[in-house]
């Protein structure tokens, strides 16, 4: 059978060999004038929601004609068609990034035909949880815990990419027949940006009994998905609609009174917090739920009491530490939080008080080049400076007032970190600004460029103090010793140059084992250890040099990653060294023994930047715009 996709068709069912419906609409989606150009044919409807309809379909372009799912969106009359088409394509491209997760259906295609917009997604063979519940008993605690452990990482993956599902419910969770994995389907209601029917904001979407209160008012946030997942869980535990599990007269959930199987207090507390009506009392991110799920019952109770005390007192909590967040100990491979930008996060800087994070993003699209300023306590972006040329390097003056960025156009920009105002610009290099650093006193800025020059600037007046000719085609990294005695610069050979900071005199050249040069440099707080990220043989390596009284006493090179080490940083207390690599991992090392302390995994693209804030957490940025904050041991 062929099913007509025309929403106004009165007789949509047609024979398989019919090409045009009696209503005049083409029955083959993606059909053109060329013979055999059709790509998909709808077989039957699967469902309908506020944004459109879903159909089971078959792919015609492949010999085996695999099953797929067509999501048809209703037209948005509030926006002109060319603009709607442009936004639809951009947003579909963003959604395609979610296909990287094995528990999200692949986005196979997207297209427009006869004024309608369509997503084509992978068909997942299996039963959804709504179907399972009809034939089986209510779920037990262990089954609910496993469901949450399976799905929360999927939700966090979406949120990391700034996508809100907005329609999590049992019918949209399929147990895949091939491997019994839970798959989160129907991204048609997902929200990324405003504009088209695909991702329209300010619109109520989702199934009412699973929808968070703020989403009903058209203001979905990340925590809205947490609420919907919680409502799904209590439905699966009780076999009752969430509508029947909330006492409106007392304004409270009564799902515990209808349990078929008992659950522990620890799980009940997690579910209660997922279902809080006030977003301020609800979990904000999926990884927070995971943290509590993995803790003993007493730890969760303590965490919940701390959270309640914070909101009741209204006092400001300290920033992003395991203890100040009121959370139990973070698992070794788990991030505290995740932020998302657009493009490659090529540089990261943190304010001295740890309250603000600045990231620089590079993209092929000029309008996506931006410097973003985040409030780490609220995880909100407070400033965004869009640039035609991206900023290869950024740094914050030690007093926390001035942000400096060095761009691919050779220009230095200076912003007020508090107001976001552009204070001034300087043309600093004939080529790109490749790296920059501010001395500990905050009065001198050092920049390096692809023109082979190192320039020292008076940060107060903006005047050039001196320049150093490194006699290299480009200088990818520089660093200043905390005591301002010397600065170090790298090149794309296997050497590091040391310069006297006060005079610019070259002190010595350090030779290492890098085959592709050194892409990053970090100096310990006491100035006795220089660490560089490099690519030695086939593996990413870190090279270190040890000094006593400015005399070289030893060096070592050791393979630490399976890809180029693109970023290194030393902790403020001088005990830890962080490395970020093209192998998509971040590793933490004992700077003095070389022992591996932590292995952070969670990024899905190469790491371009790492930075420490005090001795409490580490920040890393990757090639897909994802920024993760990790707790330190």
Strand-pair partners of 541: 534, 559
pLDDT at 368: 64
Predicted structure pTM score: 0.52
Torsion of CA 429, 430, 434, 438, to 10 degrees: -10
pLDDT, mean of residues 179-186: 92
Q: Cα dihedral sign for 332, 531, 573, 582?
A: negative
* Average pLDDT score, the chain: 83
Sign, Cα dihedral of 218, 221, 225, 228: negative
| DSSP H helix total and E strand total for the chain | 8, 41
Last residue of a domain, one of 282, 313, 344: 313
Q: Is residue 71 domain-shared with residue 163, that is, in the same domain?
A: no
Residue 320, in any domain of the structure: no
Half-sphere exposure of 335 (CA within 13 A, CB side): 24
Which one is catalytic: 109, 160, 167, 186?
Answer: 167
Position with higher pLDDT, 93 vs 549 = 93
Structure tokens at 343: 């493009």
167 is catalytic: yes
State the DSSP code for 206: S
Whether the per-residue pLDDT at 322 is higher than 70: the answer is: no
CATH number of the domain bearing residue 49? 3.30.200.20
Instruction: Clarify whether residues 348 and 479 are in a common domain.
Output: yes
Asked if the structure places residue 111 within a domain, the reply is yes
Helix (H, G, I), strand (E, B) or coil at 384: strand
Is 345 found in the same domain as 269? no
Give the pLDDT score at 615: 65
pLDDT in tens, 576-587: 999 999 888 999
How far is 156 from 133, CA to CA, in rounded Å? 25
In the predicted model, is pLDDT for residue 147 greater than 50? Answer: yes
CA–CA gap between residue 440 and residue 525 (Å, rounded): 10
Calpha distance 626→633 (Å, rounded): 22
Residue 321 lies in a domain: no
CATH of the domain at 568: 2.130.10.10
Q: Are residues 474 and 488 both part of a single domain?
A: yes
Of the pLDDT bands very low, low, confident and very high (cuts 50, 70, 90), residue 427 is very high
Pull the structure tokens for residue 554: 């030893």
Report the distance separating Cα 301 and Cα 273, nearest Å: 11
Q: Which two tokens stand for residue 26?
A: 């083409």
- Please report whether residue 318 resides in a domain: no
Together in a domain, 449 and 523: yes
Q: Are residues 163 and 255 in the same domain?
A: yes
Cα–Cα distance measured from residue 301 to residue 30, given in angstroms and rounded to the nearest whole number? 55
326 lies in some domain: no
Q: How many C-beta neighbours within 10 Å does residue 571 have?
A: 21
pLDDT score of 187: 73
Residue bearing tokens 């009359």: 77
Domain stop point among 96, 122, 148: 122
Q: What are the DSSP calls for 431-447, one per residue?
A: S-EEEEEE-TTSSEEEE
Separation between Cα atoms, residue 486 and residue 500, nearest integer Å: 5
pLDDT in tens, 386-397: 777 889 999 999
- Do residue 564 and residue 456 come from a single domain? yes
Higher pLDDT, 562 or 371: 371
pLDDT number for residue 551: 74
In this structure, the answer to whether residues 179 and 268 fall within a common structural domain is yes
Domain termination site, one of 122, 142, 176: 122
* pLDDT on residue 325: 34
Q: Which residue range(s) make up the domain with 393?
A: 335-631
Between residues 138 and 313, the one the model is more confident about: 138
If asked whether residues 267 and 393 sit together in one domain, one would say no
pLDDT band at 343 (very low <50, low <70, confident <90, very high): confident
Largest alpha-carbon pair distance within the chain?
89
Exposure string of 460-487, with b = 16+ CB inside 10 Å and e = fewer, is eeeeeeebbebebebbbbbbbbbeeebb
C-alpha separations of 419 from 352, 367, 402, 414, 461 in Å = 17, 22, 10, 12, 20
Query: What is the C-alpha to C-alpha distance for residues 567 and 611, in angstroms, rounded to an integer?
Result: 9
pLDDT digits 0-9 by tens, 57-70: 999 888 888 999 99
Query: How many residues does the structure list for the chain?
Result: 633
Considering the domain architecture, whether residues 479 and 612 belong to the same structural domain is answered as yes
Summarize pLDDT for 593-624 with one digit per residue, the tens: 888 899 998 888 889 999 998 768 999 999 88
Same domain, 118 and 147: no
Residue position matching structure tokens 């005047």: 463
Looking at residue 363, what is its pLDDT?
72
- Number of compact structural domains in the chain: 3
Domain co-membership, 90 together with 131: no
Residue-wise pLDDT for 533-555, tens only, equals 875 545 678 889 998 766 777 77
Instruction: Judge whether 328 lies within some domain.
Output: no
Output DSSP code: residue 191. Answer: B
Check which CATH number belongs to the domain holding 162 and give it. Answer: 1.10.510.10
Per the domain annotation, does 235 fall within a domain?
yes
Least confident of 140-149, 179-188, 534-543, 604-613: 534-543
Q: Is residue 544 part of a domain?
A: yes
């Amino acid at each position: 059978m062929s099913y007509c996709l025309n929403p106004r068709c009165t007789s949509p069912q047609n024979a398989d060999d019919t090409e045009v419906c009696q209503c005049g609409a083409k029955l083959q989606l993606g059909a053109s004038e060329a013979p055999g150009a059709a790509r998909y044919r709808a077989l039957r409807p699967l469902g309908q929601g506020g944004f459109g309809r879903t159909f089971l379909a078959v792919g015609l372009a492949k010999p085996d004609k695999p099953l797929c799912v067509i999501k048809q969106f209703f037209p948005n009359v509030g926006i002109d068609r060319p603009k709607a088409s442009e936004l639809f394509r951009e947003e579909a491209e963003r959604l395609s990034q979610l296909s990287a997760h094995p528990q999200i259906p692949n986005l196979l295609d997207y297209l427009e035909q006869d004024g309608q917009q369509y997503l084509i997604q992978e068909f997942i063979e299996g039963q959804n949880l709504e179907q399972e519940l009809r034939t089986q008993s209510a779920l037990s605690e262990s089954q609910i815990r496993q469901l949450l452990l399976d799905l929360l990482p999927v939700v966090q993956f979406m949120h990391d990419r700034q996508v809100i599902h907005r329609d999590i419910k049992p019918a949209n969770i399929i147990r895949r027949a091939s491997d019994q994995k839970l798959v989160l389907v129907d991204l048609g209601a997902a929200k990324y940006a405003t504009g088209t029917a695909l991702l329209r904001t300010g619109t109520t979407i989702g199934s009412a009994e699973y929808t968070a209160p703020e989403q009903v008012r058209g203001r979905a946030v990340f925590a809205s998905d947490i609420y919907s997942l919680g409502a799904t869980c209590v439905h699966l535990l009780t076999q009752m609609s969430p509508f029947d599990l909330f006492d409106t007269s007392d304004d409270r959930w009564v799902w515990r009174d209808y349990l078929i199987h008992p659950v522990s207090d620890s799980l009940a507390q997690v579910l209660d917090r997922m279902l809080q009506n006030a977003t301020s009392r609800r979990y904000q991110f999926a990884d927070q739920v995971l943290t509590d799920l993995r803790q003993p019952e007493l730890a969760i109770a303590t965490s919940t009491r701390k959270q309640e005390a914070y909101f009741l007192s209204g006092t400001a909590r300290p920033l992003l530490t395991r203890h100040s967040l009121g959370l139990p100990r973070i698992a070794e491979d788990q991030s505290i939080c995740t932020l998302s930008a657009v493009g490659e996060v090529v540089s990261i800087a943190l304010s001295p008080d740890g309250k603000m994070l600045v990231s620089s993003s590079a993209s092929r699209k000029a309008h996506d080049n931006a410097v973003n300023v985040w409030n780490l306590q609220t995880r909100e972006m407070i400033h965004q400076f869009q640039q035609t040329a991206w900023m290869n390097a950024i740094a914050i003056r030690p007093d926390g007032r001035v942000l400096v960025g060095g761009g691919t156009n050779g220009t230095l920009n200076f912003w007020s970190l508090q107001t976001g105002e552009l204070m001034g610009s300087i043309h600093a290099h004939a080529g790109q600004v490749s790296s920059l650093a501010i001395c500990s006193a905050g009065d001198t800025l050092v920049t390096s460029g692809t023109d082979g020059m190192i320039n020292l600037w008076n940060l107060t007046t903006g005047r050039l103090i001196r320049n150093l000719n490194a006699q290299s085609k480009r200088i990818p990294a520089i660093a200043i010793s905390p005591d301002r005695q010397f600065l170090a610069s790298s090149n794309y050979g296997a050497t590091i140059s040391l310069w006297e900071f006060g005079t610019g005199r070259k002190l010595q050249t350090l030779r290492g084992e890098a085959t592709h040069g050194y892409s990053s440099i970090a100096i310990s707080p006491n100035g006795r250890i220089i660490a560089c990220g490099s690519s030695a043989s086939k593996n990413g390596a870190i090279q270190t040099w040890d000094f006593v009284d400015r005399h070289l006493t030893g060096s070592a090179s050791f393979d630490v990653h399976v890809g180029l080490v693109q970023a290194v940083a030393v902790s403020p207390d001088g005990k830890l060294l962080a490395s970020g690599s093209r192998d998509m991992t971040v590793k933490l090392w004992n700077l003095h023994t070389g022992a591996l302390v932590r292995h952070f995994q969670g990024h899905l693209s190469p790491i371009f930047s790492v930075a420490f804030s005090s001795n409490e957490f580490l920040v890393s940025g990757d090639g897909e715009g994802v920024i993760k904050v990790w707790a330190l041991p």
